[in-house]
Amino acid sequence: EPEVTQTPSHQVTQMGQEVILRCVPISNHLYFYWYRQILGQKVEFLVSFYNNEISEKSEIFDDQFSVERPDGSNFTLKIRSTKLEDSAMYFCASSPRLAGSEQFFGPGTRLTVL
């Protein structure tokens, strides 16, 4: 069964460093998403991406964040200068279409900012 994959599973970084979280969505999917979940809190939407551009983003997704689909398979989330409060689990998700369509989540990358 096809699945969304994410690497690395755990990333530890120093405050102020740049990190890139990688995702490989399911191959025939067209819509891509990043969510995050701070420990003990709810899952929060960050950004949606379709047709090589951001279609919607949340207040959390400020200038420090960017997304890219550099090739036909990878979908990345970059945090330019990490803060302590960026420590969270980051989930990538994809779906084949919008209406009536499940979003399939990857296993997540746990980001720890020291």
Partner 1 sequence: RKEVEQDPGPFNVPEGATVAFNCTYSNSASQSFFWYRQDCRKEPKLLMSVYSSGNEDGRFTAQLNRASQYISLLIRDSKLSDSATYLCVVRNFGAGGTSYGKLTFGQGTILTVHP
* Interface with partner 1 (CB under 8 A): 31, 33, 35, 41-45, 48, 50, 55-56, 58, 89, 91, 95, 98-103, 105-108
Closest to 29 in 3D by CA, of 90, 78, 77, 101 = 101
The single-letter code of the amino acid at 10 is: H
Closer CB to partner 1, residue 14 or residue 41?
Answer: 41
* Closest separation in Å from C-beta 82 to partner 1: 21
The distance of closest approach from Cβ of residue 25 to partner 1 in the complex, given in angstroms and rounded to an integer, is 13
Nearer to partner 1, 15 or 43 (CB): 43
Give min distance, CB of 10 to partner 1, in A.
11
Q: CB of residue 91 vs partner 1: minimum separation in angstroms? A: 6
Closest residue by Cα to residue 106 from 1, 3, 2: 3
Q: Which is nearer to partner 1, 15 or 98 (CB)?
A: 98
Closest CA to 26 of 99, 88, 89, 97: 97
Q: What is the DSSP letter of 78?
A: E
